[in-house]
Chain A
Amino acid sequence: MVESQLESLAQSARERIGAAATAEELEAVRVEVLGRKGALAEISKGLGRLSPEDRARIGKLLNLAKNELEALLERRKQEFEEAALRAKLEAEWVDLTLPAPGPRPGVLHPLTQIQEELEDLFTSMGVVVLDGPEVETEYNNFDALNIPPDHPARDMQDTFWLTDGNCLRTHTSCVQVRGMAKLGPPLRMIAPGRVFRNEEVDPSHEHTFYQLEGMMVDRNVSIAHMLYFMKTLLRHIFGREVTVRLRPGYFPFVEPGFELDVQCLICDGQGCPVCKHSGWVELLPCGLVHPNVLRMGGIDPEEWSGFAFGLGLTRLVMMRYGIDDIRYLQSGDLRFLRQF
């Protein structure tokens, strides 16, 4: 009698749990069946009236039914919670193709980039990086570099003169003078920086551009050493082995002086418009430091010798990126600068 009552109760509870559509309906079933005043509690209250054997048997059945229904309820509850969470998360849908707000890292000027790259290379080779002022004395810019007044070589560089008699440096070579005074022999230095020439501006000419001067002074420095150094530098810059040639070039602060040409990287020396069909591109003026320059730098040329070179950073940037108008570099135009 009690068993059948229990069984039908359990059966009905199972059905109701299975059919509950919401967490509330489920809770109602739990209260009705498993609550303190629920149906199972009622039955358990009536156990006292039963014989000990029946009591034990029914009590066991009752526990079984209770455990079973609780487990069912718990599973259903979890299902409802899962569904609720799923629904909530689904509602939190975000379009990740939307653009992300906030600034991106800015772009360093291409000249800064190439300059830093070269500074790192040279530093790794034990070379000191030095700076010189943009405004220089006539002495440092010319005389100390073996270009006395009225020397025709002064024509090679149209100079901006200042009303105080100084000038805007026409090359970074003046830092040679400062470097020799600061470091003394032996020395290895480079000096990147801004230089000025009094020239009308057009796509291939600028009055303001960037150079990198290099100098090494030691005992018995030779043309062979200079060539090695230059080739190492160029291999790094172009990321591959380059063929170079030296030919005479005249710069009063070196003797002998050279122009170093690189075999055209566009046509591999076959001839193309970039190299004016010569197969070679003029890149690096260089030479052995003139004994007068060493002397003026307080270094005894009988004891020491050296080489020096000048690298056109602006030119290098233009070559690397194929920039055909030099004026972009100082235009401040972000449409240009953001490409690097």
Chain B
Amino acid sequence: MRFSYNWLKEMALGLATEPRDLMNLITLKTAECEGLHKVGQHFSQVVAAKVLQVEPLGSGRNRKTLIDAGPLGQHTVVCGAPNCRPGVITVWVPPGTRLEDQVIGVASIDGVSSAGMLASGRELGINRDHEGILEIEAEPGALIPGCQPDFVIEVDNKSLTHRPDLWGHHGMAREVAAILGLVLRDPVHLTQLPQGASPFRVSVEDSALCPRYSALVVENVQVRPSPLWLQYRLQAIGLNPINNVVDVTNYVMAELGQPMHAFDAEQLAGDTIFVRPARDGEPFDALNDESYRLTPAALVIADKQGAIALAGVIGGKHSAISQTTTKLVLESANFQAANIRRTSVRLKLRTDASQRFEKSQDPANTVRALARAVELLEIVSPGCRVCGGVADAAAERPLPPPIELPVDWLIRKLGREIAPEQARQILEALQFGVDQPSPRVLTVRVPSWRATKDISIKDDLVEEIGRMIGYDTITPTAPVVPTTPPYQDPRRSFLRRLRHLVAAQGFDEVYNYSFVSEELARRFELDPEKHVRVANPISVEQGLMRQSLIPGIWRNVVENSKHWDQFRLFEIGFAIHPRAGSLPEEIPHLTAAIYSRTGDTELLFEMKRLAECVLEGCELRPCPAHGYEHPARTAEVLWREQVVGRLFEFHPRWVETGRAVALDLNLATVESLGKREKRYQPVRRFPSSAFDLSVVVPRRTLVGDLEKVIRQLAGADLDRVTFLRQYEGPPLEEGLKSVSFRITVAAPDHTLSNDEVSAIRERMIRGMRAQGYELRV
């Protein structure tokens, strides 16, 4: 929302604060200002001038023009505008004037020295017309009537979400007057509104959707451009001047916050305006040249033939004001915020009107706006006449109950002292009604423009008083709180330990998005239909919620392999799985990768080492591979007899520049297996003995399996089994390997004798042979 400083000054009487200081005050006390713009600074220099002579110049459009600027003398100006002709009064921009960030000088054009320029409405910031020079009525040499240098303060719309009253200058002027202690002038004169019956009737079907609809008929109107001051005002705050009638409705909206619409009365069928839900499929041609098919969810304004406006959003094309319009129906209505918002969101049609209505406008404002509009119409179209009185369909609206504000409660909320008198003064400056039933209690009546949504409870009044008294007057104070150690979420602690552990092993942490594309999901053999799906994704890349962290990590590998010969990275994040009847399940995963341009099997074992660092005593069990996994280098990770993840090398087609190994652990499963109670075992007191065993087995026999067999056979006296080496080659037959282990044995109560050790060894050799293993003894 853009606010004109001059406009505010018309209502906040005596406003003399510098625009920049005012902007800061508004930011600190009311709403966030985003910027301050100088507007029309040239109006202190540009003057009216009469064109005296026009001579052709060269072959182009430019012509040599002699102008008379009254007391400022006659000047030669080169001008290319088609409407530049003798006798016309236009605007002369003298040399030295800054116009649109450019200083206008004396320029030589086509061999003629041109002193300054003649300007169009757009160049002057009065309207958007650039077809020709602006034609005005004024004495040559005079400043442009009604156009003064101004400043525009831009306020962040978001910070006005709860303030319907601040969508017009009058509301902001009220704030300014309260902040600075100025007198607020009301631009509305309700007494000027004629009384009597209206020639039009208004029929509102559902007063919940339309709490008030006020209309007034005005005839004998002449449609033409607005006076310059009116065009300039609208242009300055970003509204496009169109014609005097439309401009008046926009002016009133910008001043009072009340959106208005003017219908061409001759184009309406019948003498009743209906406010009703649209019929299913009802066509509607809007002023923006779009055609809509409506549903009953939308509220329309209709005559007896059909929709003439989409309530609170946009007017219809057919009944729009045209050059030939002479009789108007002025609409000033109030609509339910939620309904307008839904319609505008559904049709993707945000207008100045819908933006205001969705903030819950004040129904008391409709008739005020009509009064103001009539007053302005009489200025911009002299001779126009109001027909009858206001047709006003207004639902009964009970006054909101007054709010009881105990001053001691207020003090506790603010955290500083405040006298009841001061609180009262602040509220009254903001035009609240205040009674004081007892010395330390105020009873506050909320003005209608703050009562629609904004203020209904005493907490809302804390803000009113706090912001006006100044939050900088509150001294920070330490709260008195119990000193108990806070609860610690075990999962958080677990994930945090894990992050540090994995990083300490040389892995860099990455964060990937929670989204995945359908295509990528499919490539990783995940069914897109079984994913949680985004209904309104930014792009197809972000259509699904990730069910696995592997695609993201794979992408990280591919991208980083362009810059590094080798790296390790990991992510701890959530895989999101749909769950019928409740929120999706968010399963924490650890997914890590090692990449090397030249590495080979050692990468797998380094990753296995990481798995063992995370899960002490975990095992790998080779398993069938997915398409993106190396068919002979893929295993499940087992921990405490449960599958908790996978460790695999990426299929070489997926990582073409080197090799990459990944580990993916389901941390929810890991966490569920929990910590084990630790129990003390007595330290061995008697020395151990060791012997080696070598088993000859087929090449792909798993060393892990052999070790298990050895453990079983060793019996109670086993201390540990250590893998020593494996060997393939002569004298072994092709396809066989020899695997050597060192077996360490010890007894808890004595030193094992040589005979005992030999007995264990013999027993194991027999046992292995019985299971069909060949031993090299």
Chain A residues packing against B (C-beta within 8 Å): 102-109, 111-112, 116, 123, 126-131, 133-137, 149-153, 155-156, 160-164, 166, 168, 183, 186, 188, 194, 196, 198-201, 207-208, 216, 218, 220-225, 227-231, 245-250, 252, 255-259, 288, 290-291, 305, 329-335, 337-338
Contacts and interface: CB of A to CB of B under 8 A. Distances in A.
B680 interface: no
A166 B31 CA distance: 32
A264 to B, nearest CB: 15
B476 interface: yes
Contact of A188 (B486, B514, B574, B586): B486
Contacts of B30: 248
Interface string B110-121: 000000000000
Contacts of A256: 459-460, 462-463, 466-467
A136 B583 contact: yes
7 contacts: A106-B503, A106-B569, A128-B486, A330-B512, A332-B512, A332-B560, A334-B564
Contacts of A135: 532, 545, 576, 583-584, 586
Contact of B556 (A131, A200, A252, A332): A332
B124 to A, nearest CB: 28
Interface in B454-505: 457, 459-460, 462-463, 466-467, 471-472, 474-479, 481-489, 491-492, 496, 499-500, 502-505
A333 B574 contact: no
B413 A106 contact: no
A131 B487 CA distance: 13
Contacts of B508: 106-107, 334, 337-338
Interface of B: 27-32, 158-163, 337-339, 341-342, 358-359, 412-416, 457, 459-460, 462-463, 466-467, 471-472, 474-479, 481-489, 491-492, 496, 499-500, 502-514, 532-538, 542, 545, 552, 555-556, 559-560, 563-564, 567-570, 574, 576, 578, 583-584, 586
A250 B453 CA distance: 13
Contact of B32 (A130, A216, A230, A247): A247
Nearest to A220: B412
A52 B159 CA distance: 126
**Main DSSP-derived SS at the A contact region:** mixed
Given A106-B505, A108-B509, A247-B471, A131 B489 contact: yes
Given A198-B538, A228-B478, 19 more contacts: A106-B502, A126-B481, A133-B583, A133-B586, A135-B532, A149-B338, A150-B337, A164-B584, A188-B486, A208-B514, A218-B481, A223-B474, A224-B416, A225-B415, A248-B30, A249-B32, A250-B162, A252-B162, A290-B459
A247 B31 CA distance: 8
A106 B341 contact: no
A248 B533 contact: no
B595 to A, nearest CB: 10
A106 B570 contact: yes
Given A227-B476, A248-B30, A106 B509 contact: yes
Contacts of B532: 135, 162-164
A153 B453 CA distance: 12
B479 A291 contact: no
Contacts of B342: 150
A201 B413 CA distance: 40
A257 B476 contact: no
B479 A223 contact: no
B34 to A, nearest CB: 9
A199 to B, nearest CB: 8
Contact of B514 (A109, A116, A164, A194): A194
Nearest to A207: B538
Contact of B413 (A105, A208, A230, A305): A305
Contact of A103 (B31, B466, B505, B555): B505
Contacts of B485: 126
Contacts of A153: 161-162
Nearest to A229: B479
A330 B511 contact: yes
Contacts of B564: 334
A87 to B, nearest CB: 35
A109 B510 contact: yes
B491 to A, nearest CB: 7
B639 to A, nearest CB: 23
A183 B487 CA distance: 10
Contact of A131 (B29, B492, B511, B568): B492
Candidate in B341, B412, B514 with the most chain A CB atoms within 10 angstroms: B514
A166 B477 contact: no
A222 B586 contact: no
Contact of B506 (A106, A123, A186, A229): A106
B338 A150 contact: yes
Max chain B CB contacts within 10 Å: which of A153, A161, A218, A332? A332
Contacts of B513: 208, 330
A134 B575 CA distance: 10
Given A126-B485, A126-B486, A337-B509, A250 B161 contact: yes
Nearest to B338: A150
A87 B71 CA distance: 109
Nearest to B586: A133
Nearest to A127: B486
Contacts of A151: 338
Contact of B552 (A156, A230, A259, A332): A332
Contacts of B459: 255-256, 288, 290-291
B474 A134 contact: no
Contacts of B341: 150, 152
Interface centre among B31, B474, B552 (most CB of A within 10 A): B474
A110 to B, nearest CB: 9
Given A108-B509, A133-B586, A245 B358 contact: no
A216 B545 CA distance: 33
A308 B475 CA distance: 18
Contacts of A164: 532-533, 578, 584
A187 to B, nearest CB: 10
A218 B479 contact: yes
Contacts of A200: 538
A225 B477 contact: yes
